[in-house]
Amino acid sequence: MRIRHALARVALTACLGSPVDLMAASKTDAALSQRHKFDIAPQPLSSALRQLSAQSGVRILFPYDEVVAIRSRRVQGWLSTDDALDRLLAGTAFKHSEAGVGVVALIIPANRSTTRRSPLAVQLAQVGVAGAAAPVSMTPGTEAEEASTPIIVTGTRQTTRTVAESLAPIDVLSARDLEASGKQSVRDLLGTLVPSINVSNSGAGASFAVKTLSLRGLAGDQLLVLVNGKRRHNTATLFINGTTQNGQSPPDLDLIPSSSIERIEVLRDGASAQYGSDAIAGVVNILLKDDASGTAAFLSGATADGGGEQGRFQISKGFRIGDGGHVHFTLDAYLQGRTYRSAPNPGLFYARMGQLYSSTTGALDPREATVDRNVNKGGQPQVSGVNFAYDLSLPVNDMVEFYLFGTASRRHSDAWLTYRFPDAPNNIPELFPNGYSPHLHIYDEDFQAAAGLRGDLSDTFHYDLSSSFARDWVKYRENSVLNASLGPASPTDMHIGSVTSKEWTTNLDIRKMVDLGLAEPLLAALGAEYRWNGYAIGAGDPESYVDGGYRSTGGANAGVLRTSGSQGVTGFPLSSAGKWNRHSWSAYLNLEQQVAEGVEVALAGRHEDYSDFGTTDTGKASLRIEPVRGLALRGTASTGFRAPTLQQQHYSSASTINVGGVLLPVSALPVDSPAAVALGATPLKPEKSRNLSAGIVLTPTTRLNITVDAYQIRIRDRILLSETLQGPLVRNVLAAAGITSSAGGFYFSNAADTRTRGLDVVSTWRADLSDLGHAVFSLSANFNKTVFTHVDAVPPVLASSDLTLIGRSKRGDFTKGTPREKFIANILWTKGPASLNLRATRYGKVTMVHPTTSSLDAEIDPKIIVDLEAGMELRKGIRLTAGANNLFNSYPDKLLPILQGNGFSLYNQYSPYGVSGGFYYGRLNFEF
């Protein structure tokens, strides 16, 4: 013990010695200039120093108390030990000096307090070679706990910050968390693991294939998605005729293979000043794998009540390239079967034909007694697809690295739409004597590629120059369909049209550490961005939208002008087709400074200039105070904005939807179209937000972490889709614009302001159960409430006809359409080769608000959904898992018959956990 104390005092003297004295006394050591191949991943600096020692053979003395809270950056490639150590310490205040032959000591800045440091808080990292003494360790081995808290890269320009040290709330989901969740898509992974995220599972017409989510009760496109820190593009499809996410075209997270992900960071705070448009609610940053690991997985499962069969194959493998380079590939192929969750259709199939119906006796066509009423096919769509991802980096030289990453996807989704009766005006009995359900197919081709150069011009100066290009092309096709206005000559298979979105983004980011003599150097980050967006609509087959003027000569519909355009989704006409684009540029400045021990501040400002609606400026200020170790207070204030998408500005189409229990063709009207202008539409403006948040972080031990964050988000000029406008005025306006096939229409507006208040609670405890293994207990919750603080007056042209632009149902979507509260309790237990993951999620009440009367509001009562997964490692690298999502096969409340659309929508589509019940699966994993 005396020897250990003596060695510790010698080491402490070296570490606390005057930098000048140390440097003056040191002599050049050949061991420091010798080159080695280093491969040190981001991790706690203490363990990174040990890896550097092991890979170089150089012993390193360092003060544990000062190093324990710092996270290192990645060091790869053939470097001298001196250069590798410089890179490892970049962004910190530490210097290093030789303390003897083959020994290096870290030097603590002279302005850092050392009064609380114990001699036992010094560690010696040395190479473990044969005959050498064992490494001296004088503090508890906490590296395992530290390694579970990775360096974050979202919401900060620092390279050494952890979740507990962040100035705003951040959730970090590791690859292990994602695998143990039991979910297969990225969207569902986030909805399962983050309490403030809710998932939308429904959409009618062409929207059923769009995957959206909501953070803190806000819209899917008010959340910015990044991949490796670079902006992810939005889907070309506009979410029309859906539920709470109506009128949006957010990034489609399901086109990113989940097995390609190293981790996901979710910033729950406004970040427009740091990242630009769309970051009103927060940021999701998906970080791809960049190692040499290999994994493969086979999954098979189905729902408890039939259908929903799923097969998925995933393979992911990385390779080292040369000195410090890598490439990692991931392939994800899947097939999801449809589910049928509808009721028998109670409507009259033949009585209205007139031949065998007596208006005096009320006698029905006898076929009504024997007709097969199981014609409704509502439920989960069928989906098949393949996703591919890659991540590559190559060192150009010691100072520059080239990188390339991206994704490519193909997906085919198809679903049956609402049943059409044999005698309806939108059917031709000669083609479908027993009626029909339109069968809509959506073909999606998507890719994004990003490339860049990054490096260090010095130990304190880092740059990143990048450019990315993305394209999402979506084609629509229908079969088992017709255009009734063409009569018996109508085709039954039609190309409906296509939509395409493109995005090209170029960024320059510069980061510089500046020593101002304070507790830590100032981090100054500045950058610029250029972004070009394009959007196009391609017309469908003429038969999918023309009005053929057909009138039948017999039956109940004799002489009636038949409905024009393809049913389900009307084809895009030539008048809707076109191409649009815009560009923007922006510049930002970000400052982060620890002004004193335990006190940090950050400031950010951004200027944006758009070609189509002008300029905007946003800012953010953050403060974090840690009065005692393990207790921190943090808060932010920021302004934000979201530019309207080109889809929201220019999308134009028509579809047949359920309006008040009746199937009606309605049109989405671009805000600058003659029809929309005649109904009171005005050009769209950006949304503006003001975000406030305050929170507390408790880390009494390395195993326990608790965060509580309160927030308020005010949004002015919120972009909303209007109610479906109907009536004589609307039909006259549509007819004057040449739209004769629609009974109503809707358009976007900035007609309201909202305020969202809430509270996030996240707690995690990592327990060592001794002989019983290890367990991670987590309990998290979100409480959220949105209210409308202002709604614009109804345009005079609508007020004169007693029409409402933003009515009960639209307000209800934002105030009651997502759970007011959500709780997640999770236990992940491991012991040797066995693991068990048990999760219970309680969703608060959700209400589908009726457009006209509260008596028809449809509520979903609070419910607890239980997920369970058990796994066993059969042998090294081979693991078998069985699990259940929604273990007890729970369903949301059924709709009243009047709201079911003749039984097509049996369950409330606003359900945050879907309408298909429990899903049970098995999975086989390989590591190689």
Contacts of 675 (CB under 8 A, 6+ apart): 667, 669, 733, 734, 736, 737, 739, 745
Contact criterion met (CB below 8 Å) for 342 and 376: yes
User: What is the C-alpha to C-alpha distance for residues 132 and 151, in angstroms, rounded to an integer?
Assistant: 33
- Predicted pLDDT of residue 152: 67
Contacts of 372 (CB under 8 A, 6+ apart): none
**Averaged pLDDT for residues 758-785:** 94
Phi, psi (deg, nearest 5) at residue 428: -120, 105
Q: To the nearest 10°, report the CA torsion of 279, 284, 289, 290.
A: 30
Q: Strands, E, within 832-917: which ranges?
A: 834-843, 846-848, 858-860, 863-875, 878-885
Contact criterion met (CB below 8 Å) for 454 and 401: yes
Tokens of 845: 């009440």
Residue for token pair 């910190």: 92
Sign of CA dihedral 745, 748, 749, 755: positive
User: What is the C-alpha to C-alpha distance for residues 602 and 636, in angstroms, rounded to an integer?
Assistant: 9
Of 70 and 198, the one with more pLDDT? 198
Q: What residues pair up with 453 in beta bridges, in sequence order?
A: 402, 465
**Averaged pLDDT for residues 151-177:** 78
**584-596 as b/e: b if 16+ CB within 10 A:** bebebebbbbbee
- For 650-677, the pLDDT digits (tens) are 998 888 776 666 677 888 899 999 999 9
- Predicted pLDDT of residue 68: 61
Secondary element (H or E) of residue 854: none
**864-887 as b/e: b if 16+ CB within 10 A:** ebbbbbebebeeeeebebebbbbb
Task: Report whether pLDDT(145) > 50.
Answer: no
**Averaged pLDDT for residues 201-206:** 61
- For 537-560, the pLDDT digits (tens) are 999 999 999 999 898 877 667 777
Contact criterion met (CB below 8 Å) for 628 and 697: no
pTM of the model: 0.85
- Predicted pLDDT of residue 632: 94
- Predicted pLDDT of residue 340: 93
Of 536 and 703, the one with more pLDDT? 536
Contacts of 135 (CB under 8 A, 6+ apart): 50, 123, 124, 125, 126, 128
- Predicted pLDDT of residue 24: 38
Tokens of 472: 């999402």
CA atoms within 13 A on the CB side of 560: 16
- Predicted pLDDT of residue 660: 61
Q: Integer distance in angstroms from the first to the last C-alpha of the chain?
A: 44
What is the DSSP annotation of 88-110? HHTTSS-EEEEEETTEEEEE--T
Task: Report whether pLDDT(260) > 90.
Answer: yes
**Averaged pLDDT for residues 403-425:** 93
- Predicted pLDDT of residue 134: 34
- For 293-345, the pLDDT digits (tens) are 899 999 999 999 999 999 999 999 999 998 888 999 999 999 999 999 999 99
- The amino acid sitting at 905 is S
- For 466-523, the pLDDT digits (tens) are 999 999 999 999 999 999 999 999 999 999 999 999 999 999 999 998 988 888 889 9
Residue for token pair 């002004």: 595
Lowest mean pLDDT among 86-95, 687-696, 919-928: 86-95
Contacts of 587 (CB under 8 A, 6+ apart): 526, 527, 528, 529, 606, 607
User: What is the C-alpha to C-alpha distance for residues 594 and 596, in angstroms, rounded to an integer?
Assistant: 6
| Cα-based angle 741, 747, 752 (whole degrees, multiple of 5) | 155
Contact criterion met (CB below 8 Å) for 705 and 698: yes
- Predicted pLDDT of residue 359: 44
User: What is the C-alpha to C-alpha distance for residues 195 and 708, in angstroms, rounded to an integer?
Assistant: 13
**Averaged pLDDT for residues 830-841:** 95
State what percent of residues in the chain have pLDDT above 90. Answer: 56
**380-408 as b/e: b if 16+ CB within 10 A:** bbbbebebbbbbbbbbeebeebebebbbe
Tokens of 407: 């994704």
What is the DSSP annotation of 190-253? HHHH-TTEEEE--B-GGGTT--EEEETT--GGGEEEEETTEEPPPPSS-B-SBSTTTTB----G
DSSP 74: P
Of 315, 473, 357, which Cα lies nearest the Cα of 409?
473
Contact criterion met (CB below 8 Å) for 314 and 332: yes
User: What is the C-alpha to C-alpha distance for residues 634 and 519, in angstroms, rounded to an integer?
Assistant: 18
Lowest mean pLDDT among 133-137, 734-738, 796-800: 133-137
User: What is the C-alpha to C-alpha distance for residues 653 and 539, in angstroms, rounded to an integer?
Assistant: 10
- For 336-390, the pLDDT digits (tens) are 999 999 999 988 888 654 444 444 445 677 888 888 999 999 888 999 999 999 9
State what percent of residues in the chain have pLDDT above 70. Answer: 87
Task: Report whether pLDDT(205) > 80.
Answer: no
- As a whole number, the mean pLDDT across the chain is 85
- Predicted pLDDT of residue 130: 35
- Predicted pLDDT of residue 350: 80
Of 50 and 117, the one with more pLDDT? 50
Contact criterion met (CB below 8 Å) for 185 and 618: no
Secondary element (H or E) of residue 899: none
Coil, strand or helix: which one is 2?
helix
